[in-house]
């Protein structure tokens, strides 16, 4: 998920995006761009490609707009009349933190693919 329960940053688990606390942080920033394309003549099924960047911070004084977690990926959406939009995304998060044996950040980063399920409108 990522930034919050309602605005996920695809490609990351919750603790790896921003502040690793239950609250997640008091400030957030997210940039998302998405291109959608038809998969079938029926407009209720479409694919998409996206790029995102975002993070959360504990306070305004700790905000660093250049410290963003970045991701890219692809997905599919299906509109089900009784359920709304359901979908699946597969995203590559570039900036996962490498943790030491005590779960502290080491300053190193690694990339990883993550699946994400979507229920409802994405934005």
Return d(Cα 105, Cα 81) in angstroms, integer: 45
Q: How many helices (H) and strands (E) does the chain have?
A: 0, 5
Burial 46-83 (b: 16+ CB within 10 A, else e): bebebebbbbbbeeeeebeeeebbbbbbebebbeeeee
- How many CA atoms does the CB half-sphere of 42 hold within 13 Å? 6
Query: Among residues 71, 89, 69, 90, which one has the least CA distance to residue 25?
Result: 69
CB atoms within 10 A of CB 28: 19
Contact 24, 56 (CB under 8 A): yes
CB atoms within 10 A of CB 123: 6
Does residue 6 surpass a pLDDT of 80? no
Q: Which residue has the tokens 């996920």?
A: 8
Per residue in 68-115, pLDDT (tens digit) is 999 999 999 999 888 889 999 999 999 887 878 887 878 788 888 999
Does residue 12 surpass a pLDDT of 50? yes
pTM: 0.76
Per residue in 13-48, pLDDT (tens digit) is 755 445 445 556 788 888 999 999 999 888 789 999
């Amino acid at each position: 998920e990522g930034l919050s329960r309602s605005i996920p940053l695809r490609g990351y688990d919750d603790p790896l995006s921003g502040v690793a606390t239950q609250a997640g942080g008091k400030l957030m920033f997210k940039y998302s761009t998405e291109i959608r394309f038809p998969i079938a003549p029926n407009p209720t099924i479409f694919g998409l490609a996206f790029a995102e960047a975002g993070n959360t911070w504990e306070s305004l004084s700790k905000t660093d707009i250049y410290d963003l977690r970045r991701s890219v990926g692809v997905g599919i959406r299906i509109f089900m009349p009784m359920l709304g939009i359901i979908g699946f995304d597969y995203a590559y998060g570039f900036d996962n933190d490498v943790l030491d044996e005590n779960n502290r950040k080491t300053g190193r980063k690694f990339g990883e693919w993550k699946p994400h399920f979507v229920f409802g409108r994405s934005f």
